[in-house]
Structure 1
Amino acid sequence: MAGFSLIHSERSVSRVLAGKKAIVTGAGRGIGRVIAHTLYNAGARLTAVSKTKDNLERLRTDLPGIDTICVNLRDWEYTRQSLDDLPSFDILVNNAGFGLSGSFTDMPKEVTDNMIDMNIKGMINVTQVIGKGMVAGGRGGSIVNVSSMASHRSLNGHTVYAATKAAIDAITRNLAREFAPHGIRVNSVNPTYVSTDMTKHIPEAAVEKLRVLTPTRKLLTSEEVAEAVLFLVNGSASSINGVNLLLDGGYTAT
């Protein structure tokens, strides 16, 4: 992953999150892993959540002093048990998710259930627990949900996935209003294609077509998504609330 070694190897000079407590779901690999590194490098006291113990062990080696929670967010009750007794956080990044493209009429029930359970129900469950703690803590905070450009534009084979991401966008906007009186901002980032384990099944021809149709002629890196998340959770974005921030190189503007 391009640039990952830089994030891994040194603490950021600008520790804009020093003293802040952050929790990131889906932190074991892909975009979530880079978000975890980025927030840690910015000084946050990090709790990383993943369903894969080995990924968490490697992350703990890379980022000394972090806390880790191994839980499958599809398990509603065990997730609540795992998170209920945690202290209040200043930052929540709902990154965990699942996506698989394919014909709408042929999409298996188990795949559909997995996307709905992870992308919608899992995010709702985590945000209920952590959000309640934020409100009770009385310090305000910031929540960022990792959505997708697919919620804004139709893409071949992405109907069910896009529906789950559109739900995330709607939840983001409504929570922004509900949590605002408590000083908690809620936003989403909506990236275009990012090369990760989850997207490797997408044909190269489709990826290249997307790149050509993007005005900047470039696709996104995990590092760029992480930097957008960092911007939204720090003081520089104190007036940004209820935004679905497109990270698409201008694709949806054309």
Structure 2
Amino acid sequence: MLGLNLAGKNILVTGTGRGLGRAIAIALAKHGSKVFALSRTPSTLDSLVKEQPSIEPIVADVSCWEETRCKLEDLKTMDGLVNNAGIFTTDPATMVTKEKIYKVLDTNLLGVINCAQVVANRMIKDGRPGSIVNMSGTTSLSCAGVGFLPYAMSKGGLDAATRQLAFERGPYNIRVNSVNPALVKTTNSSAQIIEENPKLVEQMEFKTPLKRLIEVDDVTGPVVYFLSDLSSMVTATCNVIDGGILNCMV
């Protein structure tokens, strides 16, 4: 019977300074993986390593193509990659500037493609199978409200990139899937959204069949699954984590 089989595997996780990325890095380390944690903020990486000393920190901004590429090319061959780094803006669609759109796309979409290229090409060179998990969102499938045009564009593109990468890298036994959570209650970014929309939690809990918002652990579990041997025949999928709100709205 297949198990997780994550012990001893090299896994790179981006955007690990806080929130989901941090939780994913810690969960993988607890499963015995050798985690390489990338963040643009040295102080948050320091606190992560203090909490989980086995994690190896990498300071880089994924929106900087060449800087990130140079740092990743110096790493050993990975068995897995979690593309979690992401940003968003809250400017209305008719007012958001080209510069802000590019900034979001550079991190949320192009940064993912860059990391996936370096990691997958190294896997292929060394003849090693692997798994890539892209952290997308339900904004790729449904409108999230005013102000999320660049973010929604980036996640829609990310789902398309996931399928394309899965198709092209499948013959090398490299799997690529996306995880698409709705609003996660306990992350730093969601705290800002909830603070600006005080009735949001109440409304979403009412509309969700499972009657609660997503917690961080609801997302780390599926990510671990897609990196593990349990999902060895799963690729090119987009996996919604939303408590049923998209398909069963009350």
| Counterpart position of 1:28 | 17
| Structure-2 separation of matches of 1:197 and 1:108 | 24
| Counterpart position of 1:204 | 198
| Counterpart position of 1:178 | 168
Contact residue 193 and residue 207 of structure 1 kept, 8 A: no
| Structure-1 separation of matches of 2:74 and 2:4 | 28
Aligned AA for 1:134? Answer: M
| Counterpart position of 1:243 | 237
Q: What is the number of equivalent residue pairs in this alignment? A: 241
Contact residue 16 and residue 43 of structure 1 kept, 8 A: no
Contact residue 25 and residue 50 of structure 1 kept, 8 A: yes
Q: Unpaired runs of 5+ in structure 2?
A: none
Deviation at residue 180 of structure 1 after TM alignment: 0.7
| Counterpart position of 1:230 | 224
| Structure-2 separation of matches of 1:238 and 1:118 | 28
Aligned AA for 1:168? Answer: L
Contact residue 15 and residue 43 of structure 1 kept, 8 A: no
Deviation at residue 50 of structure 1 after TM alignment: 0.2
Deviation at residue 209 of structure 1 after TM alignment: 1.9
Do structure 1's residue 125 and structure 2's residue 114 form an aligned pair? yes
SS in 1 for 2:17: coil
Question: What does residue range 72-91 of structure 1 map to in structure 2 within 5 Å?
Answer: 72-91=61-80
| Structure-1 separation of matches of 2:54 and 2:209 | 42
Contact residue 189 and residue 246 of structure 1 kept, 8 A: yes
Contact residue 211 and residue 218 of structure 1 kept, 8 A: yes
| Counterpart position of 1:191 | 181
Aligned AA for 2:76? Answer: P
Deviation at residue 16 of structure 1 after TM alignment: 3.3
Deviation at residue 15 of structure 1 after TM alignment: 7.1
Question: What does residue range 42-53 of structure 1 map to in structure 2 within 5 Å?
Answer: 42-53=31-42
| Structure-2 separation of matches of 1:204 and 1:136 | 51
Q: TM-score, normalised by structure 1?
A: 0.91
| Structure-2 separation of matches of 1:207 and 1:151 | 21
| Structure-1 separation of matches of 2:4 and 2:243 | 28
Aligned AA for 2:65? Answer: W
Q: TM-score, normalised by structure 2?
A: 0.92
| Counterpart position of 1:139 | 128
Q: Unpaired runs of 5+ in structure 1?
A: 1-13
Contact residue 16 and residue 39 of structure 2 kept, 8 A: yes
Question: Among residues 76, 89, 93, which one is paired with 2:82 in the alignment?
Answer: 93
Deviation at residue 146 of structure 1 after TM alignment: 0.2
SS in 2 for 1:142: strand
Deviation at residue 177 of structure 1 after TM alignment: 1.0
| Structure-1 separation of matches of 2:175 and 2:79 | 10
Do structure 1's residue 213 and structure 2's residue 203 form an aligned pair? no
Q: Once structures 1 and 2 are overlaid, which stretch shifts more, 205-214 or 132-141?
A: 205-214
Report sequence identity in percent: 38
| Counterpart position of 1:6 | none
Contact residue 208 and residue 244 of structure 2 kept, 8 A: yes
Measured on the aligned residues, the alpha-carbon RMSD in Å equals: 1.4
Deviation at residue 198 of structure 1 after TM alignment: 1.6
Question: Among residues 55, 60, 70, which one is paired with 1:71 in the alignment?
Answer: 60
Q: Once structures 1 and 2 are overlaid, which stretch shifts more, 204-213 or 112-121?
A: 204-213
Aligned AA for 2:23? Answer: V
* Inter-CA distance 102–217: structure 2 relative to 1 (3 Å threshold): farther
Deviation at residue 145 of structure 1 after TM alignment: 0.2
